[in-house]
């Protein structure tokens, strides 16, 4: 069956136009929030010892904050778009159109990544004059951004599909995304944790996303980059399979 | 049943149940290419379920639907390209203006800049030109309905389904809409209409199916349907408000403002026999009029329900 290429580009364009129309809320606000974290934590922890040799706490913190913001915004983009369309009823325009599950999936993932990239670039542009940040492994950096941002955009698709009211979406965000991202080693190295929390961190996929992303900047990380890539790829494949199954079968979309 | 593969819409043995409730109970009929077809039925008859199955929003438990020969499940992509559906609910995406919304909708169907002149023409025809850059959320209900109609037509589908397109809209939009649909129909578009306004169906549709409790009660040309029942109605106003003789009272359908309406079977109750009965009872006639049955009468006859009572609810 022929793919609907123009349909895919149109859906992607529409998803980008949707967040672009409220740029202050979708890009500027998360950048400001993340930079406030940076300012406050960098000040409060300024006397703390280097996390890795030659890497100050502020340098260590910035990539983690960037990745945390990437994760939250990639999730927010696809989840809010889908949930809103579902709740307001405008999803029928997509469901009645000759768009397949692959086109639907990739358009939402790509739009989430574009928003996440804008947020990350804006954060780095503002922070880099004040924080000296090397880029040791650019390919690892890009790979981790795509896999981690993509994973959260996919998770957003799942959340959008299963949510039948905005409360459900808020619960997803407040009880899953925020705790997992805060407990992923954004603000600390997991080596500084008590043994039980150290072990627990290794079950959190967000930990590998942030650790692998940090490796892209410093060439050093808490676990091997291959382990981070393997965990994040595995997570991406697993949840993508779930999302594609939902889209293909029309789970909670078609009765 | 005509199972021609070239039917605009071919509905074959479609069943759908919600628990114990059978919404569609083996529905089968074809709609020919180029027809202006009316799909009528009381609330809960299964019309919306059927349209949702055609659109791919609901899956049938059994049976199949084909659009111009393309199965809506196996060959869904081609089938959907042939279809334009105006949904009953006023749904819209609040982030976009009218013209962007229409261009986006066209893109979903693989139609690009080549349909932009058609979009401009539709905006003109539906009196939306002044609102082309207005945000969807700022439009009135009637204006949103116009955009919904344009959205369904934006990819120039050969088969268009209008689900209650005139529910709650003003006379102006009705006139605009019907003139536009007539033009499209004359150019070969198949139009399927569901409506609570039976006079619209009677005026616009060449063929009508009445469905009730998930089955087709009747499917005929509008003319044949109107001639199907050999009765007519006689309205009498009697001198000094006299009572009808007992032999005629069983024929009364309505009584209001001093006038009584009798339902007469052409063969069994010729009008002359009514006059003779009144004359022999010594009752004078102050005024008299007759009318042939309309679609509402046929509808009541077939379903036992008046569609006009539901009409008020939908307004």
Q: A108 with A78: CB under 8 angstroms?
A: yes
Pairing of strands B285-291, B21-31: unpaired
Domain-by-domain residue ranges, chain B?
A: 9-226, 230-292
> What is the C-alpha to C-alpha distance for residues B24 and B44, in angstroms, rounded to an integer?
10
| Cβ distance of A4 and B77 shorter than 8 Å | yes
Residues of chain A whose beta carbon is less than 8 angstroms from a beta carbon of chain B are: 1-2, 4-7, 9-11, 13-14, 17-18, 21-22, 85, 88-90, 92-100, 250, 254-255
Q: Angle at Cα A97 formed by Cα B169 and Cα A239, nearest 5°?
A: 125
> What is the C-alpha to C-alpha distance for residues B100 and B2, in angstroms, rounded to an integer?
41
Q: Cβ neighbours of residue A190 under 8 Å, at least 6 residues apart? A: A197, A198, A201, A202, A207, A211, A222
Mean pLDDT of A78-84: 94
Q: Cβ neighbours of residue B11 under 8 Å, at least 6 residues apart? A: B27, B28, B29, B30, B50, B54, B63, B65
Q: How far is A65 from chain B (nearest CA, A)?
A: 30
| Cβ distance of B95 and A99 shorter than 8 Å | no
- How many CB atoms lie under 10 A from the CB of residue B206? 15
At A2 the pLDDT is 67
Residue A114 or residue B263, greater confidence:
A114
At A152 the pLDDT is 97
Is the pLDDT reported for residue B57 higher than 90? yes
Q: Which residues of A touch B80 (CB under 8 A)?
A: 96-98
- Which of A232-236, B48-52, B114-118, B240-244 has the weakest average pLDDT? B240-244
Mean pLDDT of A201-225: 92
Residue B173 or residue A82, greater confidence:
A82
Specify the CATH number of the domain B230-292.
3.30.70
Specify the pTM.
0.85
C-alpha closest to that of A64 among A230, A208, A203, A194: A208
Instruction: Express each pLDDT in A20-50 by its tens digit.
Output: 988 898 888 888 888 888 888 888 877 776 6
- Which of A251-255, B92-96, B289-293 has the weakest average pLDDT? B289-293
Q: Could you tell me the pLDDT band of residue B308, with boundaries at 50, 70 and 90?
A: low
Mean pLDDT of B4-30: 89
In order of A7, A69, A213, B103, B181, the CA distances from A10 in angstroms are 5, 26, 31, 9, 28
Nearest chain A residue to B51 by CA: give it.
Answer: A96
Instruction: Express each pLDDT in A180-211 by its tens digit.
Output: 988 888 887 777 788 888 888 889 999 999 99
Q: Which residues of B touch A13 (CB under 8 A)?
A: 104, 107
Buried/exposed code over B282-292 (b: 16+ C-beta within 10 A; e: otherwise): ebeeeeeeeee
Angle between helix axes A225-249 and A101-127 (nearest 10 degrees) is 140
At B313 the pLDDT is 36
| Cβ distance of A93 and B96 shorter than 8 Å | no
Which of B56, B92, B108 shows the shortest C-beta gap to A10?
A: B108
Q: B207 with B295: CB under 8 angstroms?
A: no
Q: Do domains B9-226 and B230-292 have the same CATH topology?
A: no
Instruction: Express each pLDDT in B199-241 by its tens digit.
Output: 888 888 999 998 888 888 889 898 888 777 778 888 988 888 7
Q: Could you tell me the pLDDT band of residue A86, with boundaries at 50, 70 and 90?
A: very high
Mean pLDDT of A149-172: 94
Instruction: Express each pLDDT in B79-95 by its tens digit.
Output: 999 999 999 888 998 88
Nearest chain B residue to A249 by CA: give it.
Answer: B59
> What is the C-alpha to C-alpha distance for residues B297 and A167, in angstroms, rounded to an integer?
49
Which of B77, B83, B105 shows the shortest C-beta gap to A1?
A: B77
- Identify the top-confidence range among A150-154, B165-169, B263-267, B271-275: A150-154
Q: How far is A95 from chain B (nearest CA, A)?
A: 7
Question: The tokens of A181 are what?
Answer: 């991202």
Pairing of strands B159-163, B190-194: parallel
Q: B4 with B30: CB under 8 angstroms?
A: yes
C-alpha closest to that of B37 among B235, B262, B222, B303: B222
Q: Does domain B9-226 have CATH number 2.60.120.1440?
A: no
- Which of B77-86, B88-97, B138-147, B238-247 has the weakest average pLDDT? B238-247
Asked whether this complex has an ipTM greater than 0.90, the answer is no
Mean pLDDT of B231-256: 85
Q: Cβ neighbours of residue B180 under 8 Å, at least 6 residues apart? A: B125, B126, B149
Q: Which residues of B touch A11 (CB under 8 A)?
A: 107-108
Which of B55, B108, B138, B163 to probe the A interface (max A CBs under 10 A)? B108
| Cβ distance of B78 and A98 shorter than 8 Å | yes
Percent of chain A with pLDDT over 70: 98
Give one word for B213, left, alpha or beta, with left for phi > 0 and alpha for psi -120 to 50: left
Mean pLDDT of A85-92: 92
| Cβ distance of B96 and A90 shorter than 8 Å | no
């Amino acid at each position: 069956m022929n793919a609907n290429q123009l349909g895919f580009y149109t859906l992607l364009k529409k998803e980008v136009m949707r967040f672009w129309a409220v740029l202050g809320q979708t890009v500027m606000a998360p950048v400001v929030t993340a930079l406030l974290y940076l300012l406050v934590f960098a000040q409060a922890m300024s006397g703390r010892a280097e996390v890795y040799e030659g890497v100050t706490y502020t340098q260590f913190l910035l990539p983690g904050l960037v990745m945390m913001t990437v994760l939250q915004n990639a999730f927010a983009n696809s989840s809010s778009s889908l949930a809103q369309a579902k709740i307001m009823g405008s999803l029928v325009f997509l469901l009645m159109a000759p768009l397949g599950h692959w086109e639907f999936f990739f358009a939402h993932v790509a739009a989430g990544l574009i928003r996440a990239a804008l947020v990350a670039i804006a954060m780095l542009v503002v922070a880099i004059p004040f924080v000296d940040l090397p880029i040791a492994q650019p390919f690892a950096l890009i790979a981790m951004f795509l896999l981690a941002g993509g994973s959260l955009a996919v998770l957003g698709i799942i959340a959008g599909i299963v949510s039948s009211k905005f409360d459900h979406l808020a619960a997803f965000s407040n009880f899953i995304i925020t705790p997992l991202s805060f407990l992923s080693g954004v603000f600390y190295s997991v080596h500084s944790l008590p043994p039980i929390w150290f072990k627990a961190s290794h079950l959190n996929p967000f930990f590998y996303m942030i650790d692998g992303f940090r490796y892209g900047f410093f060439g050093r990380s808490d676990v091997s980059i291959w382990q981070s890539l393997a965990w994040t790829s595995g997570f991406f494949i697993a949840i993508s399979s779930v999302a594609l199954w939902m889209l293909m079968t029309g789970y909670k979309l078609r009765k | 049943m005509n199972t021609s593969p070239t039917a605009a819409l071919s509905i074959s043995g479609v069943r759908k149940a919600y628990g114990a409730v059978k919404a569609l109970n083996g529905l089968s009929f074809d709609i020919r290419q180029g027809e202006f077809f009316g799909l009528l039925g009381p609330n809960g008859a299964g019309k919306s379920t059927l349209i949702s199955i055609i659109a791919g929003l609901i899956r049938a438990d059994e049976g199949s639907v084909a659009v111009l020969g393309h199965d809506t499940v196996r060959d869904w992509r081609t089938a959907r390209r042939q279809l334009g559906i105006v949904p009953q609910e006023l749904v819209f995406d609040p982030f976009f203006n009218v013209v962007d919304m229409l261009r986006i909708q066209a893109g979903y169907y693989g139609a690009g800049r080549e349909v932009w002149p058609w979009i401009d023409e539709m905006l003109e025809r539906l009196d939306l030109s002044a609102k082309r850059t207005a945000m969807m959320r700022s439009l009135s209900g009637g204006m949103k309905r116009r955009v919904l109609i344009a959205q369904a037509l934006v990819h120039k589908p050969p088969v268009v389904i209008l689900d209650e397109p005139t529910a709650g809209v003003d006379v102006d939009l009705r006139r605009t809409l019907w003139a536009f649909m007539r033009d499209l129909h004359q150019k070969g578009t198949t139009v399927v209409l569901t409506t609570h306004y039976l006079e619209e169906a009677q005026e616009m549709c060449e063929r009508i199916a009445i469905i009730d409790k998930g089955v087709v009660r009747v499917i005929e040309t509008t003319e044949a349907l109107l001639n199907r029942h050999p009765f007519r109605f006689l309205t009498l106003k009697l001198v000094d408000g006299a009572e009808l003789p007992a032999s005629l009272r069983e024929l009364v359908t309505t009584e209001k403002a001093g006038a009584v309406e009798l339902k007469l079977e052409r063969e069994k109750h010729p009008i002359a026999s009514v006059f003779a009965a009144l004359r022999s009872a010594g009752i004078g006639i102050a005024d008299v009029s007759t009318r042939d049955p309309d679609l509402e009468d046929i509808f009541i006859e077939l379903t036992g329900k008046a569609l006009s009572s539901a009409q008020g609810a939908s307004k």
